[in-house]
Structure 1
Amino acid sequence: MTSSSIPSNAVHICVDMQRMFMPPNPWAVGWFPETLPKVIELVQRKPASTIFTRFIPARRPGEGQGQWRDYYCHWADMTLERAGREIVDLAPELQAFVPPARLFDKFVYSPWFDGSLQRALVAEAVDTVIVSGGEADMCVLATLLGAIDFGYRTILVEDAICSTSDEAYDNIVKLFSDRYSQQVEVTSVEAVLEFWR
């Protein structure tokens, strides 16, 4: 639980709160509608300190490297060619925050893979990241592990992340509360708003 001040230059990384993960899409995250208001509360605190990541699927079935080719054959209806480019857009309620919030696109689960996010945070002397969004056991997990590897003070906002599975959500919160307790602070939207001035 966060009980100390969050520096003014902290960055809120909001993971993949996009149309493709909203019901009734095939990749819909069940908790998305309930989580969205909490995410909005965080974004409203400091829109200019928010980075939205967006997962960008393959253009057409069979594209991608290695296992991703099979993945997009299986999920052919979620490729850009079939689903339409608009599926990568943020949830409508979040689009108005960009700008000043920024977008970072990625083609895999981790936002750290191509180095652009890390370069931006280093250039801004950021040492603290606050993580929200979805999906808890996929892209949020990859975001957290990268932040740990780069040595950031990492804050997971447990009531502002979502998953398709209650069990997966509970396991992720427990994992970072227990196993990673020296590297990740698991806290609430209320606490972030109190300590991030």
Structure 2
Amino acid sequence: MAAVGDDLRYGELGPSCRHLCVDMQRLFAEDTEWRTPWMQRVLPRVQEVVSHKPERTVFTRFMPAQHAGEGDGTWRRYWQRWSSMTIAELGDEMVELIPELASFVPPADILDKRAYSPWYQTDLHDRLRHRAVDTLVVTGGETDVCVLATVLGAVDRGYRVVIATDALCSSSDEAHDASLELYARRYSLQVETVTVATIVRNWR
């Protein structure tokens, strides 16, 4: 297994790199049942990556069901359980990005998704391929849910993935730590785990 360190093993980041910022939204940052307590703590690091290359950033947004019990298969049960997190209960405004990040759009883009993965039933892969993108920097939340789905989908599609370890958050410290270990140890040929400082320093 590869050693874990704060270095980009496969070289600097260039014009073929884009930043996927995962689900940094009001419904996770504010006082809801899905509040991620330390999202605000990592926000400055996320902002640092976004402000470095705002025109190369895509913000994903998790879009809840409109009403309880909607969805196919287990998603129907999911939205029955989380009826408090539906659009009908939250209001449309809660799916918006955290205000500190919303100000970067444009030039940053937004991609809406209705599942954990931004690759499922979206045009993300086509968007990136159209721009000759082959490398993705990933920030946001949650480390063990939507970030995990983002990373694995990118790996399946052959992207080089660079995870900003200090710009991720989760509502579970244990799952966050385990996920970082998983990214660094199990996917070391396709995934690099480094700090924001390393990413900014090497993305020219």
Q: Distance in 2 between matches of 1:39 and 1:101?
A: 13
Equivalent of 2:86 in 79, 82, 102? 79
- SS of equivalent to 1:159: strand
- SS of equivalent to 2:132: coil
Percent identical pairs in the alignment equals 48
- SS of equivalent to 2:140: strand
Equivalent of 2:8 in 2, 8, 19? 2
Residue 121 (1) aligns with residue 128 (2): yes
Unaligned runs of 5+ residues in structure 2 are 1-6
Tell me the residue number matched to 2:100.
Answer: 93
Equivalent of 1:62 in 64, 69, 75? 69
Tell me the residue number matched to 2:198.
Answer: 191
Structure 1 residue identity aligned to 2:90: A
User: Alpha-carbon deviations, 1:11-36, whole Å to 9, x = none?
Assistant: 00000000000132110111101011
For normalisation by structure 1, the TM-score amounts to 0.98
Structure 2 residue identity aligned to 1:62: G
- 1:164 Cα offset (Å): 0.7
Tell me the residue number matched to 1:179.
Answer: 186
Tell me the residue number matched to 2:54.
Answer: 47
Q: Is the 8 A contact 1:54 1:106 kept in 2?
A: yes
- SS of equivalent to 1:27: coil
Residue 165 (1) aligns with residue 165 (2): no
How big is the alpha-carbon RMSD for the aligned residues of Structure 1 and Structure 2?
0.8
Q: Is the 8 A contact 1:9 1:49 kept in 2?
A: no
- 1:142 Cα offset (Å): 0.2
Tell me the residue number matched to 1:13.
Answer: 20
Structure 1 residue identity aligned to 2:55: A
Q: Distance in 2 between matches of 1:74 and 1:167?
A: 23
- 1:166 Cα offset (Å): 1.0
- 1:115 Cα offset (Å): 4.0
Unaligned runs of 5+ residues in structure 1 are none
Structure 2 residue identity aligned to 1:111: P
User: Alpha-carbon deviations, 1:111-165, whole Å to 9, x = none?
Assistant: 0011400000010000100000000000000000011001011101100000011
- 1:69 Cα offset (Å): 0.8
